[in-house]
Amino acid sequence: MKENLIKEDKAASSNSAILAAQSSPPEDDDDEAQADDPSQDGAPGAVKKKKKKNKSKKKKDPLQQTDPPSIPVDELFPSGDFPEGEIQQYKDDNLWRTTSEEKRELERLQKPMYNSVRRAAEVHRQVRKYMRSIIKPGMLMVDLCETLENMVRKLIKENGLQAGIAFPTGCSLNWVAAHWTPNAGDKTVLQYDDVMKLDFGTHIDGYIVDCAFTVAFNPMYDPLLQATRDATNTGIKEAGIDARLCDVGAAIQEVMESYEVEINGKVFQVKSIRNLNGHSIGPYQIHAGKSVPIVKGGEQTKMEEGEFYAIETFGSTGKGFVREDLECSHYMKNFDVGHVPLRLAKAKQLLGTINNNFGTLAFCRRYLDRLGETKYLMALKNLCDNGIIQPYPPLCDVRGSYVSQFEHTILLRPTCKEVISRGDDY
Could you tell me which residues are annotated as the binding site for substrate? 179, 287
Cis link prior to 62 (omega < 30° from 0)?
no
Looking at 122, 149, 238, 312, which residue is catalytic? 312
Q: Which of 213, 182, 183, 215 is nearest to 199 (CA)?
A: 213
105: annotated active-site residue? no
279: annotated active-site residue? yes
Looking at 124, 203, 279, 330, which residue is catalytic? 279
CB atoms within 10 A of CB 350: 22
194: annotated active-site residue? no
Looking at 194, 199, 373, 397, which residue is catalytic? 199
Looking at 146, 193, 287, 369, which residue is catalytic? 287
Name the helix (H) or strand (E) containing 297: none
Looking at 30, 230, 407, 418, which residue is catalytic? 407
- 208 DSSP assignment: E
Q: Which of 426, 397, 395 is nearest to 409 (CA)?
A: 426
Annotated binding-site residue numbers: 179, 199, 210, 279, 287, 312, 407
407: annotated active-site residue? yes
Annotated binding-site residue numbers for a divalent metal cation: 199, 210, 279, 312, 407
What residues form DSSP beta bridges with 354? none
Q: Which of 264, 256, 272, 170 is nearest to 213 (CA)?
A: 170
Cβ atoms of 270 and 223 closer than 8 Å: yes
Looking at 210, 230, 373, 397, which residue is catalytic? 210
Cβ atoms of 169 and 198 closer than 8 Å: yes
CB atoms within 10 A of CB 28: 10
Position 227, amino acid: A
330: annotated active-site residue? no
What are the start-end ranges of the E strands in 150-255?
A: 163-173, 176-178, 195-204, 207-216
Position 37, amino acid: D
Residues serving a catalytic function are 199, 210, 279, 287, 312, 407
